[in-house]
Each structure stands twice: as C-alpha cells, then as structure tokens.
Amino acid sequence: MPVQDRFDWGISSYLTPPAARAHALQEYTWSQAAIGAAGISTFYPEDHTVFEEGLRDEEEHAEFFVQLRTHHGLAEPTLEFTPSFLWYFDAIPRNDGSWYYLDDAGRDHELLRTRRTDTELRIDIAALPLRRYLAARSRLLVIQHDRITRLDRVPDPAIDAVDRSDVRHFAFHSGDLHSVDRPGFVPLVGKQIVLPIEAEPADLARPHTSECRFPEFTVAIDPNTGERITSTCEPDKLSNYFTVRGTPHYLTRVYFRREVLNRYTSQPSRYRIENGRLSCLGLWGISIGTNPDDLIEVYLGDLGRDLPAEERDHWLSFNVPPSGGRDEGRFDRDILGRWTDGPMDRWTDGPMDRWTDGPMDRSTRYAGCLPHESTSAPPWARSWDKRSTSHGTPPTRSPSRACTCPPAASSTKPIPHTAARQRRNRLPERQGPPAPSKSDRLQGAEHQLLGSMGLLQRR
C-alpha cells in the first residue's frame, strides 16, 4: 500500500460469489460492505440489535478476504487474511511478515511477500495460488481502487472517461484544485475482478499442482549387447507376486551413486535419514539400503510410489547399473522376513544407536527379554522358528535372527498345559534332507520370477 507525496491511493478487496459479478461491477464506486470490523448493529424501527462478526455482508454479497490493521499507530501494522486462505496452503510465516507453503516434495513456494521502506508497504500475492484458492472456494476477488494523481498543471482538454468490461469498471477525469502547488489532479476510481483458474474440483484437493511423470531407471545390463535395460517405475505397470505383466518386478533393486543423498544430508532440518529410511518433514519417505559397493539401493516400485515426482529426476541423474550385489540385511528383513541387527547409519557420522538407548539388539528391545515359551509374549516375540528344535529343547537362534532373550529357568514355576505345549512344539524326526522352509520357497520364487525377466544378478 504505497504512500507517497505525489499520490493519494486507497485499495481494498473482498470475495464474492460468481453469481454476484454483475452486482459488483454495477457501479464503479466502492462497495460499502460492512466487513473487516466487528460490532453491534441496530435496525429500526424494530429496534433490533445484531452482533456483526465482520466476515460477511449479505446485502453486498461480500466476504472478508484481507486488510491492513494500523492499530492507531501504536504498533507495527499487521496484515490479516481470512483464515481459510492460509489454511488451504498450510502456509508458514517468515520473520518479515511473508508467507510460503510446501509442495509434495517439501520445497518452498512463495505465497505472500511483503516489502517495507520508509515510504511504502508493498504486499504481493502469488497470482496462481490465489486463483487456485478462488477456484477451490468458488469465489471471485473484487479489488477496489481509488487513486488521485496530483499534477503541476491542469490537463487541457479536460479528461472524462469510463472503462468498462465484464472484469472491470473504472472512471477517471481531471479537475482543478485552484492551488498554487500542483493545482491539477486526476482521480481514478473503480473495481476489477480476479477470476479463478479453470479446474475440476478433484484437481483442487491439493493447494498446488502435482506431476505424474514416471521416468525409466536402469535396472540391469543386457549380457549380450552391454546396453542398459531400463524400466518405468510406475507401480501399476510393474509385475508383482500376484500379477506378471511382462515388466520388471516391483521389488527389482535399482542402484544410485551415494552422492544422490547430498541434497538431503545438507539440509538436516528438513530431511532425515535413519533406520534405512529417507523422509522429509512427514510429507514423504522412502526405504533405502546400501550394497557392498557402497551404492544406494531402492526398490523400483518405491521410486514411483513413495518418491515425489519432483524428486525423481534428481535420482535419475545418479542412477547406475547394478554392481556389487545386494544389501543382504535388507533382503533378509524385507524379502525373507527375518529378524536382523539394525543397519549402521552409513549416511551420517555415527551409528543409529544414537537414536536409541545405546547398542542393543533390536529384537531384544521389542521382545522385552521374555522367556521363549511365555504365553504373554506377543506373536513376533515368540520362538516360531522350530526348524532347529530338538526334542524337549528350546529352539536356539543365531545372532542374525536377533533374539538374545535367555531361556526360561528350570526353577520357573510350570504353567498350565506346559507338557501339551512341549509336545506340540516338537517336530518329528525327518529322514533325509529337510523340506524347504517358507522363506526358502519365497526366495526361490523371487529368483524364478527375476530370472524369467533376465534381471537376476549373480552374487
């Protein structure tokens, strides 16, 4: 709202329904809508009083949008918006009075910018977000102008004109103040309409546009030609354990140079990398691993499902062919469903145990050191793996299976049905090699599927 010696300028605005456009532009003079201030109104002759909130004027079809409050000069001026405008964008304030919002990828976008000088307070609102908000609310924004320009001489011939269309109505003319100092003046009074964008209601669920691009990533090398084999990362077009579409599997491993993470490690206040997961302010997150060649490993389908479209081009620029094998710990957890020790935090300066109480086996923390045969243990803390069980002996887990809880002491008071439970836990002695386990069958199925698509890597 500029205030300068050579200008007298006033500006205001309000929201109105599309059906009230003709009413708003009927006159070029300002609407006298009772908005922006609260109080009690008395209607005569009924002597009826009503409290007016200052948010809506039904007679003028006007709704409050924004105003500058000067606080009688006793405090710094403040800018007030209708709450839904800032809420729609989940806007974030800056120290200088500006506001910004985040897109799906967590990147900043300016919504409102302010600039203060000794003679001027300028407020700029981003046009496209404003029009998107108008579309979401099915409203028009009416901006009212009243500006007087002082001149050193009176215009001759005199100015008297009107400019009117379906989006504006202005009138301006010239006059003589009969003053020694700049006697001429030209006032400009009128209104203009800011229209919403044209968009389907479903497209306005987000306060910003969202891209739907799925670039192709390198997933393997053709052994015959040495050319890269690429594939889309769009989840609906990838094969899975239930549907074979003639495309790579959703869980196909894709590899990247570790420099792909520099963007995120350089902004620790916005991004976090811990426990094998990269996340951004709760807006998005993707599971990652590290293979023996120190390459970052990500599942092909996760690139299309969990990574925002705005980030995929960045990852594509660091995409490399597979080498060095897979992240074995991640494979055991994700594919075979085995308990494993948590991975070291290879993306920061120290072990991940800094976020816990110290070095500790993960499954021990979860199990709470419950006896193997305790019926109070949750299912994931019980000794379900009976393959290594001998007659009457509690199963023994390898360290990679991660349960270090001590077995029940012999002095523990027997609980009901112990004998029946021990008989149920025994496995009959087998003749010949043991049958393949469920995890072995699952691993074989994965190898068969990847082999059929020529994507199986030799480890």
- Angle at CA of residue 127, ends 122 and 131, nearest 5°: 130
The answer to whether position 423 is within a domain reads no
The answer to whether position 439 is within a domain reads no
Domain closes at, from 160, 183, 204? 204
For residues 264 and 320, state if they share a domain.
Answer: yes
The answer to whether position 2 is within a domain reads no
The answer to whether position 459 is within a domain reads no
For residues 165 and 259, state if they share a domain.
Answer: no
For residues 193 and 74, state if they share a domain.
Answer: yes
Domain closes at, from 156, 175, 204? 204
pLDDT tens digit sequence for 366-411: 333 333 333 333 333 333 333 333 334 343 333 333 333 444 343 4
DSSP category for residue 352: G
What's the predicted TM-score (pTM) here?
0.67
Q: Of 9-23, 146-160, 375-389, where does the model show the most confidence?
A: 9-23
pLDDT of residue 179: 75
For residues 223 and 267, state if they share a domain.
Answer: yes
**Mean pLDDT in residue range 263-282:** 94
Residue 260, CA distances (Å) to 194, 250, 268, 324, 385 in order? 42, 21, 15, 18, 39
For residues 278 and 135, state if they share a domain.
Answer: no
For residues 25 and 161, state if they share a domain.
Answer: yes
For residues 61 and 192, state if they share a domain.
Answer: yes
- Determine the 3-state secondary structure of 368 from DSSP: coil
- Please count the structural domains in the chain: 3
The answer to whether position 438 is within a domain reads no
Of all residues in the chain, the percent with pLDDT exceeding 70 is 73
Phi and psi, residue 273, nearest 5°: -125, 110
**In the predicted structure, residue 256 carries a pLDDT above the cut 80:** yes
For residues 190 and 276, state if they share a domain.
Answer: no
pLDDT of residue 404: 38
Q: How far apart are CA 130 and CA 145, in angstroms?
A: 19
The answer to whether position 147 is within a domain reads yes
Q: Please, what is the average pLDDT of the chain? A: 78
For residues 255 and 174, state if they share a domain.
Answer: no
Domain closes at, from 204, 233, 266? 204
For residues 42 and 146, state if they share a domain.
Answer: yes
**In the predicted structure, residue 243 carries a pLDDT above the cut 70:** yes
For residues 29 and 177, state if they share a domain.
Answer: yes
The answer to whether position 449 is within a domain reads no
CB 356 within 8 A of CB 391: no
pLDDT tens digit sequence for 31-40: 888 898 888 8
What is the span of the domain harbouring residue 371? 361-388+395-407
Q: How far apart are CA 404 and CA 366, in angstroms?
A: 11
88-97, 126-135, 161-170, 356-365: least confidently modelled range:
356-365
pLDDT of residue 398: 37
**Mean pLDDT in residue range 219-234:** 95
For residues 287 and 157, state if they share a domain.
Answer: no
pLDDT confidence band for 340 (50 / 70 / 90):
confident
Which of 289, 306, 283 has the alpha carbon at shortest distance from 347? Answer: 289
